[in-house]
Amino acid sequence: MRVTVVGCSGSFAGPRSPASCYLLQAPHKGGTASILLDLGSGALGVLQRHLDPAALDAVFLTHLHPDHCVDVLALHVARKYRPAGRPSYPLPVYGPAGSGEVIEGMYIGMQPGGMAAELAFTDLVEREPVVAGPFTVTAYAVNHPVPAFGFRVEADGAVLAYTGDTDTCDNLTPLMTGADLVLADSAFVDGRDRLGGIHLSGSRAARAAVAAGGVGRLMLTHLPAWNDPEVCRAQAAAVWPGEVELASPDATYDL
C-alpha cells in the first residue's frame, strides 16, 4: 500500500499544505486502486499533482468539519463539468450519518440529491468494514465534538491507522494495534491547549500508540500553522520509543 500526504495542515489550509487529505493506492486487477481519506480545504488542487480526480475509486470522510470534507464540493464540480465528460458512475463517498445532506447543503442552490449523478453518499457504521477494491476500511468512533471516526485500512498485506481528529479514547487501541503506520492527530500542544475532547497532543498520540502495541511507525499530522512541529515531535518523543515522524505534504510512503 502506498500512502501520499496530499494535505496535513490542521484546522485550515496552511502556507505549505492544504488541510487533511491522504491518498492511498494498492494493486488491483492488474492496475492500481486509489482512495482518499478526507478531502479538506485546498486538497483537491494538490491532489491533481498525484492523480486525476476522475481516477478515484472512493472517498472516506472522518467527519464533517470543513478542514476534512469541504473540497468534496469541488470534486463534485470536477466530475460534473470536466470537458472529457462526467464519469459513467457516481463516486462512492463514505462518511458519518447525513454526510450527503450536509455537503449538499454547503452548495448554495443545490437541491436534495442534486449530487447523486456524481457522488454516491453512504453512511458509515462503526466497526462494520467497507470493502473498496483491495482496501478494507473499518471505522472506529473517536473523541471529537461532532460525530467522527478514525479509519483502520488494510490492503496488500499492510495496515494503516488514521486517527482523524480525536482526543484520547478507548477506541484508539483497536484502531492502532499492529498498524504498520499510524497517522496521528497532533493539533494540541501540552501546556498550551487545555480543552479536552477535541484533539490529541504529540505525547497523548504516542501514549495511545504505545498502549495499542505492535505499531511500526508513528507519524504526527494535523498540525495547525501556528504549531512548531519540533515541539510536537519532542513531546511525542518523550513517550514513543522509536523515531517520531512528521507528515510532510506531497511525501509518499510505501508500507
Measure the CA–CA gap between 9 and 67, rounded to whole angstroms: 9
pLDDT at 86: 83
Measure the CA–CA gap between 142 and 119, rounded to whole angstroms: 25
Which triple of cell numbers denotes residue 48?
Answer: 491533481
According to CATH, what is the number of the domain 2-254? Answer: 3.60.15.10
pLDDT at 87: 85
pLDDT at 88: 85
Burial 89-105 (b: 16+ CB within 10 A, else e): ebbbbbbbeebbebbbe
Measure the CA–CA gap between 117 and 110, rounded to whole angstroms: 13
Question: Which residues 6+ apart lie within 8 Å of 159 measured at CB?
Answer: 152, 153, 178, 179, 180, 181, 255
pLDDT at 30: 96
**Domain ranges for the chain:** 2-254
| DSSP-derived secondary structure letter, 201 | B
CB 90 within 8 A of CB 117: yes
Give pairs for 159-163: CB < 8 Å, separation 24+: 159/255, 160/1, 160/3, 160/24, 160/255, 161/215, 162/22, 162/37, 162/62, 163/200, 163/205, 163/208
164 dihedral zone (left: phi>0; alpha: psi -120 to 50; beta): left
Which triple of cell numbers denotes residue 91?
Answer: 463516486
| pLDDT averages per 10-residue partition of the chain, 255 residues | 98 96 97 98 97 96 98 96 89 97 94 94 98 98 98 98 98 98 98 96 98 98 97 98 97 97
Measure the CA–CA gap between 228 and 101, rounded to whole angstroms: 37
Q: Which ranges of 92-168 does DSSP label H, i.e. alpha helix? A: 99-106
